[in-house]
Amino acid sequence: MSNIEMLLSIMAQLRDPETGCPWDIKQDFDSIAPYTIEEAFEVAEAIALRDYPELKEELGDLLLQVVFHSQMAQEQGLFDFNEVVQVLCDKMVRRHPHVFAGTQADDEQAVKANWEQIKQQERTRKGREHNSTIDGVPAGLPALQRAGKVQKKAAKVGFDWRAPEPVREQVSRELAELDEALSSGHKDAIEDEFGDVLFTLVNLSRHLKIDPEQALRRATNKFERRFRVMEALQTRPLSLLDESALEAAWQEAKKASD
């Protein structure tokens, strides 16, 4: 028995209605979906940390999600794991004609153009013809990632700034509009303007060729590191310090951790 056959067998036993695990039996596509997303992020975290033993384990956890969904689909007569793999193999061959069909693709841009054209053909065959340039971006993506993808699609037809400087100016304008909303005290307006600030910052990151998700993760990690140092340096709980003492402790932690 191969490793993948063993994994499929284990999953089938876990889902057995009579002898399986009560938790596994209870699950459905909707309840498992959040775990699938979480495991993908844990893979990304292991990569960011260059923790390759952890990456090996997290990739296994992500594979388990595919097997879990496939088992539930098989139970409902929808498809099974082998069909998932077959569809994937067919798609990879179809979307790489420059490798498998002898067509020409001289550089990465040509590959991307071919890929998008083939994806559009696939959508048409499935009856999913898109009417807008920005169609095809999954609504379930993390907000920062989805914002970037929508912006990139719009940029393909020229709806974009040409340089980072005007985008930075737009950030200032959006912040001014947020200040106005804050003055009004209107919660919906504040949320709307705050969203505009974030959306414009994603646009700026794109022009600066910075991954906003990675940049925010890096900033959060820096804050976490400094905060832990600040806690370690204090002889009293932070909750007992007043505002000025907290600021002094923070500045001390920054010096000690940087």
DSSP element (H, E) containing 53: helix 52-75
Residue 184 located in a structural domain: no
Residue 77 located in a structural domain: yes
CB 95 within 8 A of CB 120: no
DSSP element (H, E) containing 125: helix 108-125
Please state, as a whole number, how many other Cβ atoms lie within 10 Å of the Cβ of residue 142.
11
Q: What pLDDT is attached to residue 257?
A: 85
Does residue 15 carry a pLDDT above 80? Answer: yes
Return d(Cα 62, Cα 68) in angstroms, integer.
10
* Buried-state track 41-62, b at ≥16 Cβ within 10 A, e below 16: ebbeebeeeeeeeebeebeeeb
Residue 82 located in a structural domain: yes
CB 174 within 8 A of CB 197: yes
Residue 112 located in a structural domain: no
Return d(Cα 183, Cα 215) in angstroms, integer.
30
Residue 192 located in a structural domain: no
* Last residue in a domain, options 59, 94, 129: 94
Q: What dihedral angle (degrees, nearest 10) is formed by the CA atoms of 43, 48, 54, 59? A: 20
CATH number (domain holding residue 69):
1.10.287.1080
* Last residue in a domain, options 94, 116, 137: 94
Does residue 105 carry a pLDDT above 90? Answer: no
Q: What is the DSSP letter of 251?
A: H
User: What tens digit of pLDDT does each residue of 43-65 get?
Assistant: 988 998 899 999 999 999 999 99
User: What tens digit of pLDDT does each residue of 64-85 get?
Assistant: 999 999 999 999 999 999 999 9
What are phi and psi for residue 209, nearest 5 degrees? 60, 45
CB 154 within 8 A of CB 206: no
Does residue 184 carry a pLDDT above 90? Answer: yes
Residue 65 located in a structural domain: yes
Q: What pLDDT is attached to residue 73?
A: 98
Q: Between residues 104 and 86, which one has the greater pLDDT? A: 86
Provide the mean pLDDT of the chain: 92
**Domains contained in the chain, number:** 2
CA distances from 172 to 134, 179, 213 (A): 26, 11, 21
Residue 219 located in a structural domain: yes
Residue 109 located in a structural domain: no
Does residue 110 carry a pLDDT above 90? Answer: no
* Last residue in a domain, options 57, 78, 94: 94
CA distances from 83 to 3, 64, 233, 252 (A): 18, 16, 57, 58
Tally the residues of the chain: 258
Return all residues near 78 (Cβ < 8 A) that are at least 6 apart.
none
Question: How large a percentage of the chain has pLDDT more than 90?
Answer: 76
User: What tens digit of pLDDT does each residue of 220-242 get?
Assistant: 999 999 999 999 999 999 999 99
Range of the domain at 63: 3-94
Res. 127 pLDDT band, cuts 50 70 90? low
